[in-house]
Amino acid sequence: MINIKNLHKSFGKNEVLKGIDLEVKTGEVVVIIGPSGSGKSTFLRCLNLLEQPTDGSIEFEGKNLLDKSVNIDELRQKMGMVFQNFNLFPHKTVLENLTISPIKVKKESPEAAKKKALALLEQVGLSEKQGNYPSQLSGGQQQRVAIARALAMNPDVMLFDEPTSALDPEMVGEVLAVMKALAEEGMTMVVVTHEMGFAREVSDRVIFMDAGVIQEEGTPEEIFSQPKNPRTQDFLRKVL
């Protein structure tokens, strides 16, 4: 589904991504781990062109994203993104957060958008919150709404950037459970996370990124039980 070759990204003289090659297959769950500042967020942001890559190529569903003819709005509809800080529309209700883009951007009828939104809220366990505003919800609930909102656009792939890092510990589990269910339904997912339990249990493949390159990749078993690269070993020693 996604084929990334020799991806480079610099901010001024600071080269943050130094040649990343990665393929993501349909239905695959890829987890990216690595120290802070290693370029994980920049990498995800390049995938949906929130950042413009400096060099390399990204093919998504057969299209080269760096081609000038690519419609960025269409691309973002197909790649749902969930951030650390929820980013819900504060002055819209939960239901409106889920229906506004499908109606405005995808030209869905309000009835159809509402029907789908209610089904998604049910899926993330928040049906009873449809009339509430984001500020009336806990962090874990807000993040579940953010996931449902991304899903409301019927994306082909979901990108998650540390979706549980801003949450109080007791709320991490409810968000990871929603993500796990999504993975089990076959959603293609690229997840940056420090939740090693989730990585081990849910991912098909783990990527260890450090200093702007993929230092090591493998199955969760390979990465967590027998990491080969000393940098991976050192990182895992610190976080596990």
List residues near Mg ion by CB under 5 A: 40-41
Interface stretch with ligand ADP, choices 31-39, 71-79, 165-173, 183-191 (CB under 6 A): 31-39
Which of 40, 114, 129, 149 is in the footprint of ligand ADP by CB under 6 A? Answer: 40
What is the x/- site pattern for ligand ADP, positions 42-81, by CB under 6 A?
x---------------------------------------
Using alpha carbons, select from 80, 76, 104, 81 the residue that is nearest to residue 92: 104
Residue 215 sits in the site that holds ligand ADP (CB under 6 A): no
Residue 101 sits in the site that holds ligand ADP (CB under 6 A): no
User: For strand 205-210 and strand 29-33, is the pairing parallel, antiparallel, or unpaired?
Assistant: parallel
Interface stretch with ligand ADP, choices 29-37, 128-136, 150-158, 224-232 (CB under 6 A): 29-37
Residue 97 sits in the site that holds ligand ADP (CB under 6 A): no
Nearest CB to Mg ion, comparing residues 39 and 227: 39
Which of 2, 16, 30, 206 is in the footprint of ligand ADP by CB under 6 A? Answer: 16
Residue 36 sits in the site that holds ligand ADP (CB under 6 A): yes
Which of 4, 39, 82, 95 is in the footprint of ligand ADP by CB under 6 A? Answer: 39
Taking the CA atoms of residue 32, residue 33, residue 34 and residue 35 in that order, the dihedral angle to the nearest 10 degrees is 120
Whole-number Cα distances in Å, 70 to 62, 66, 109, 179: 12, 7, 26, 29
Sign of CA dihedral 66, 67, 68, 74: negative
Using CB distances below 5 to 8 A depending on partner kind, what does residue 203 bind out of ligand ADP, Mg ion, none?
none
DSSP state of 135: G
Using CB distances below 5 to 8 A depending on partner kind, what does residue 53 bind out of ligand ADP, Mg ion, none?
none
DSSP string, 96-129: HHHHHHHHHTS---HHHHHHHHHHHHHHTT-GGG
Nearest CB to ligand ADP, comparing residues 141 and 235: 235
CB 70 within 8 A of CB 44: no
Using CB distances below 5 to 8 A depending on partner kind, what does residue 37 bind out of ligand ADP, Mg ion, none?
ligand ADP
* CB within 8 Å of 12: residues ≥ 6 apart: none
Smallest distance, Å, CB 32 to ligand ADP? Answer: 9
Place of tokens 């993975």: 183
Nearest CB to Mg ion, comparing residues 152 and 206: 206
User: Any alpha helices (H) in the chain, and if so which ranges?
Assistant: 40-47, 72-78, 94-104, 110-123, 139-151, 169-184, 196-202, 220-225, 230-239
* 147: Cα separation from own chain's centroid: 9
Nearest CB to ligand ADP, comparing residues 83 and 86: 83
Which residues would be at the binding site for ligand ADP (CB under 6 A)? 11, 16, 34, 36-42
